[in-house]
Amino acid sequence: MRMSWFNATSLTLGFAFLYLPMVILIIYSFNESRLVTVWAGFSTKWYGELLQNQSFLDAAWVTLKVAVFSSTLATILGTMAAYVLVRGGRFMGRTLFSGMIYAPLVMPEVITGLSLLLLFIGIGLDRGVLTIVLAHTTFSMAFVSVVVSSRLVTFDRSLEEAALDLGASPWDAFRLVTLPIIAPAVISGWLLAFTLSLDDLVIASFTAGPASTTLPIRIFSAVRLGVSPEINALSTIMIAIVTVGVITASLVSKRSMVRQKRDEQAAARAT
Amino acid sequence: MRRAILILVPYLWLLALFLVPFIIVGRISLSDTALARPPYLPQFSWDEGIWAFLSQLDFENFWFLTTDDLYWKAYLSSLQIAITATFFALLIGYPIAYGMARAPEEWRPTLMMLVILPFWTSFLIRVYSWIGILSQEGYLNQILLWAGIIDAPLIILNTNTAVYIGIVYTYLPFMILPIYSALDRLDGSLIEAAEDLGCSRLQAFWLITVPLSKNGIIAGCFLVFIPALGEFVIPSLLGGSETLMIGKILWEEFFNNRDWPVASAVAVVLLLILVVPIVLFQRNQQRQAEEDR
């Protein structure tokens, strides 16, 4: 099939629109001059300055801690919630439960942030890393449970039942049969929760204390004053990490999909 | 027993960190601002009892929102900005989704990844990248001046135009993906049939392709409109003083004016406005799921 000129142009222009701003950002992070819009020669000095900047390094450390804890908690809770919703059958308050699970997906961040802050103040919890972790876990577990439940819906329930018939306890059936099958979804849920946490400015601004500035909060306060070459350098590093991560993840999932297909074919032949 | 634990742990978590906070927001929105710690009254105390507490709550803050025209102007302007930006996102996103669905089979996974990749990169950085482009001495003005298209630099940054660009840019993947998945499933023989029966290309597009991708279009529009309505980062970085968006007002009311009751009332009203599109969106998703079956 050949592409028409119309489709080719719309794809070219569309992807140019999506990528040019980031490409420009990356190019100008290697600019010699502090005046970011004037090119004055190649230099990596802003990367050096960035690594000297203690406040950025501290913020990065806080962000990383928050992201690791909150995404792990969100993955555990989100997987549990997805399992309950897909396999749990009927129980009291199920509608309220599914409503609460999916509401954070569409909730404006300012409202989530405000409401959590008012809660933390109400119960007298000091704002810091812990409060950000609690907040991030709550909103990102919704995303995890969407990803995991879409995998649970499609997978063949008779596999679990077979394990139970063969004498496995429900926990063993989950651990040995269900978990390995939904593992790719759980991992991508974790990655999603991790990036959401790394990325979040609004909820973190409401729930962070003075000693727990995260990287987005730090970037936001710098960016308000305009474009700066250090932020360009920082952005480039973050874009590079994400790009490598996404490409690796997609290669790994492609390989595991191929392997799964091969296993299924082998199983089909064996029966 | 295990099942009870499985249900209770996420349930209690959400009750404590999702539902209770909303009840608190609702309760503070009915309170009065006070020079106290926390800065609102009444405070609940067991000695006075629940009725004494409830009788002090009122809708004064909501009245205040209707009397000060800053607020309803901000709600209207948020709606207008979100609708306009959604329209432009559709205008730009549809041709991209269409091109992707018509691209050779072996390109499509790569094209998909190229659309998803920006979604994984920091939102803040993607918004920030436009400051350097749109500012007065920015790259766009440099190119236009150099090409002789304009004589004086355009003022785009800190206007509503910049906010539209920011919203369209950051939420474009949300528009492209549902439309692409609708177009991808579309049976190409239907279009061929229409053309065989004498439809022009354009007619076939309007009569076959657009109606059959309707669900994707609706889903994409809601996925852009809903988050755009409460957006804070884009108006505060790219918008100017005349950009009124309710997310920004809420933020300023809370952090700058420290008026918690009014900030809470603003949040309650925003939530009420959002209920309609969210319910409509959910219904569209359900209908689509049923059609797929």
* Together in a domain, A45 and A69: no
Same domain, A94 and A204: yes
Asked whether residue A12 is assigned to any structural domain, the reply reads: no
Q: Identify whether residues A80 and A168 lie together within a single domain.
A: yes
Predicted structure pTM score? 0.89
Q: How many CA atoms lie within 13 A of A240 on its CB side?
A: 10
- Is A201's CB within 8 Å of B124's CB? yes
- A131 and A35 within one domain: no
Q: What is the pLDDT of residues A119-174, one digit of tens each?
A: 998 888 889 999 999 999 999 999 999 999 988 888 778 888 888 888 888 888 88
CATH fold label, B68-292: MetI-like fold (1.10.3720)
Could you list the residue range(s) of the whole structural domain that residue A138 is in?
Answer: 57-226
> What are B188-245's pLDDT values in tens digits?
788 888 888 888 888 888 888 888 888 899 999 999 999 999 999 999 999 988 888 9
Are residue A263 and residue A147 in the same domain, yes or no? no
Within a domain: A183: yes
Q: Best mutation site among A37, A96, A118, A139 for testing chain B: the one with the most B CBs within 10 Å? A: A118
Specify the amino acid at residue A174. Answer: F
Biggest distance spanned by C-alpha atoms of chain B: 83
Whether residue A197 is contained in a domain is answered as yes
> For residue A2, what pLDDT is reported?
53
- Whether residue A268 is contained in a domain is answered as yes
In the predicted structure, residue B89 carries a pLDDT above the cut 60:
yes
Is residue A140 within 8 A of residue A70, CB to CB? The reply is yes
Q: Are B267 and B250 in contact (CB under 8 A)?
A: yes
All residues of chain B having their beta carbon less than 8 Å from the beta carbon of residue A223 are: 124, 128, 131, 237
Task: Give me the number of domains chain A comprises.
Answer: 2
The CA distance from B135 to B67, in Å, is 36
The pLDDT > 70 percentage for chain A reads: 99
Q: Do B132 and A36 touch (CB under 8 A)?
A: yes
Query: What per-residue confidence (pLDDT) applies to B191?
Result: 81
- Exposure of A166 by Cβ count < 10 A (0-12 exposed, 13-18 middle, 19+ buried)? exposed
Residues A45 and A67 in one domain: no
Backbone angles phi, psi at B33, to 5 degrees: -70, 140
pLDDT digit string, tens, across residues A46-56: 898 888 889 89
Is residue A9 in some structural domain? no
Do A132 and A70 touch, CB atoms closer than 8 A? yes
Contact B17, A122 (CB under 8 A): no
Alpha carbon of B132: minimum distance to chain A alpha carbons (Å): 6
CB B176 within 8 Å of CB B115:
yes
Asked whether the beta carbons of residue A84 and residue B6 sit closer than 8 angstroms, the reply is: yes
How near does any CA of chain A get to the CA of B60, in Å? 20
Domain ranges for chain B: 68-292
Q: What is the number of other CB atoms lying within 10 angstroms of the CB of residue B104?
A: 10
Same domain, A155 and A210: yes
Same domain, A35 and A147: no
Q: Which of A12, A37, A101, A131 to mutate to test the interface with B (most CBs of B within 10 A)?
A: A37
Residue type, B92: I
Q: In this structure, is residue A4 part of a structural domain?
A: no
Q: What is the pLDDT of residue A270?
A: 72
Q: What percent of chain A has pLDDT over 90?
A: 41
Q: The complex's ipTM? A: 0.87
**Cα dihedral A176, A77, B224, A15 sign:** negative
A16 in a structural domain? no
Please list, in sequence order, all residues whose beta carbon lies within 8 angstroms of the beta carbon of residue B89, skipping any fewer than 6 positions away: B167, B168, B171, B172, B175, B220, B221, B224
Q: Is the pLDDT of residue A1 over 60?
A: no
User: 10 Å Cβ neighbour count for B51?
Assistant: 8
Tokens of B269: 């009203």
Nearest to A113 by CA among A96, A86, A131, A97: A131
Query: What CATH code is carried by the domain that includes residue A186?
Result: 1.10.3720.10
